[in-house]
């Protein structure tokens, strides 16, 4: 496993504990259209080059995808949980 993937996986472990979620599988791979995704079956996929972004943005993307394990949509509950865990999340535009 290369260093980029290790960095992302360590951050995912940290956030999974903090958010009390357990992804079934975490993939770190090349993605060109988005930074991450979460399937209904519990598979979280994150872009390998997320490791090149600043830590705040990494936290935003990782927390966002992991929270989808608890809340599958972007409704009020999801936004409230994002605000509770990543207070400045709205300043992170999805840059892809």
CA dist 30 and 56 (Å) reads: 20
pTM of the model: 0.93
Binned at pLDDT 50, 70 and 90, residue 50 comes out as: very high
Whether the per-residue pLDDT at 1 is higher than 80: the answer is no
Domains, the chain, ordered by start:
3-87 (3.30.2010.10)
Q: Could you read off the pLDDT of 59-96 as tens digits, one per residue?
A: 999 999 999 999 999 999 999 999 999 999 999 866 65
**What does the pLDDT read at residue 77?**
97
Residues of the chain with pLDDT > 90, as a percent, come to 88
**What pLDDT is stored for residue 24 in this prediction?**
97
Taking every pair of C-alpha atoms in the chain, what is the biggest distance, in angstroms? 37
Q: Is 48 exposed, middle or buried (0-12, 13-18, 19+ CB in 10 A)?
A: middle
């Amino acid at each position: 496993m290369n260093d980029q993937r290790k960095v992302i996986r360590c951050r995912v472990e940290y956030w999974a504990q903090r958010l009390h979620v357990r992804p079934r599988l975490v993939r770190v791979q090349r993605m060109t259209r988005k930074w991450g995704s979460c399937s209904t079956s519990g598979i979280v996929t994150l872009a390998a080059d997320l490791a090149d972004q600043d830590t705040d943005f990494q936290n935003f993307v990782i927390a966002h995808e992991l929270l989808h394990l608890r809340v599958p949509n972007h409704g009020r509950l999801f936004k409230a949980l994002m605000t509770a865990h990543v207070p400045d999340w709205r300043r992170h535009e999805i840059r892809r």
